[in-house]
């Protein structure tokens, strides 16, 4: 099996996530169920939400804020195991991030690193 990184993108706010805390609580059951289904299959490696605070380090200096692209930013991640990209894409089609109008999931295969 290969490992895949799923990056959960959503709207960014001004110093905070755009989503209302009450809506976040309501959506937690959907996230727990979605992640639980992947975990029960033995495919979950790790998953966590990401705090809004962060830094972006470039060769021109450091910005004390996370990377934001077109009003969107990474809000969480998952590392999972799957046979192929198509399998992970099927899971992503039912991801709760899609309930948010601007939400989407980026999927990247983790390359084996050998020295």
The gap between the terminal CA atoms of the chain, to the nearest Å, is 20
**For the chain, domain boundaries:** 13-34+42-50+63-115
DSSP character string of 55-77: -EEETTEEESS---BTTEEEEEE
For domain 13-34+42-50+63-115, give the fold: Alpha-Beta Plaits (3.30.70)
Residue segments in the chain with a per-residue pLDDT below the cut of 50: none
- Per-residue pLDDT tens over the stretch 62-77: 999 888 888 888 989 9
């Amino acid at each position: 099996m290969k490992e895949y990184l799923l990056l959960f993108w959503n709207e960014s706010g001004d110093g905070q996530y755009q989503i209302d805390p009450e809506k976040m609580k309501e959506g937690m059951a959907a996230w727990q169920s979605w992640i639980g289904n992947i975990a029960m299959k033995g495919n979950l490696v790790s998953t966590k939400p990401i705090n809004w605070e962060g830094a972006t380090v470039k060769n021109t200096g450091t910005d004390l804020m996370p990377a934001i692209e077109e009003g969107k930013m990474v809000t969480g991640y998952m590392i999972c195991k799957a046979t192929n990209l198509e399998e992970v894409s099927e899971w992503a089609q039912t991801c709760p991030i899609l309930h948010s109008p601007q939400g989407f999931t980026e999927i990247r295969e983790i390359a084996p690193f050998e020295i």
